[in-house]
Structure 1
Amino acid sequence: MGKQKMVVKLTMEDEKKRSKAMKTAVGFLGVISVEVQGEANDRLMVIGDGVDLIKLTKTLRRKMGGHVDLVSVGAVEEKEKKENKDEEVTWPPYEYRYVPPPSVFEYPHLYQDYGYIPSWY
């Protein structure tokens, strides 16, 4: 049995009802994806493998408390995957930039001008 695409029409007034309907549909065994469709966001498109349509519609009717109609059922068209094995991966060349170490300068003449000579000097 291949993947099936089912479109279910139901009443969903607000975002909370849409979320509840999607959670209910996703909870079924075999459901791969659920999508809200329609101009008024009143349709659920369920894609799955071996999903029991009767149980799905009954559960949606019970949980949503409204009319649920099964609009269409059909097979999912598989998109052809193009494999490009001939292409080689080219890596950019590694750029190494020389960074000189920091230089430290001492100015002993500054201490001698003021008459102070530190003990470490």
Structure 2
Amino acid sequence: MAKQKIVIKVEMSCDKCRWKAMRLVATTGGASSVTLAGDGKDQLVVVGNGVNFIKLIAALRKKVGHATLVTVGEVKEEEKPEPATAAVVEY
């Protein structure tokens, strides 16, 4: 199973609410990283393997406030281009 990237918009007005939401998401099974995003730091970006986003949103609505699912997708691995090697030609 591939890693998922889930973006959830949560109504968080203070730092205490942000901390509470991040702690709740971090203790969820399968979540490997949680970050804040958005202009007003009102979006949680969760990356993990096998995260149940329906239960996650229900828990956020119950404990923190209104939560809306923005996107769910697979994490795309960045392909690093191979460094060009210099060829030395002797005459």
Of structures 1 and 2, the larger Rg is shown by: 1
Q: CA deviation at 1:67?
A: 1.1
Higher relative contact order (CA 8 A, sep 6+): 2
**Structure 2 residues without counterparts, runs of 5 or longer:** 84-91
Amino acid at match of 2:72: V
Q: CA deviation at 1:79?
A: 2.2
Distance 1:55 1:71 in 2: 15
Structure 2 length normalisation: TM-score?
0.85
Q: CA deviation at 1:35?
A: 0.5
Where is the strand percentage greater, Structure 1 or Structure 2? 2
**Structure 1 residues without counterparts, runs of 5 or longer:** 85-121
Q: CA deviation at 1:51?
A: 0.4
Task: Name the SS for the 2:28 alignment partner.
Answer: coil
Q: CA deviation at 1:6?
A: 0.4
Distance 2:54 2:43 in 1: 17
Identity of aligned residues (%): 47
1:82-114 per-position Cα deviation (integer Å, ceiling 9, x unaligned): 799xxxxxxxxxxxxxxxxxxxxxxxxxxxxxx
Task: Name the SS for the 2:76 alignment partner.
Answer: coil
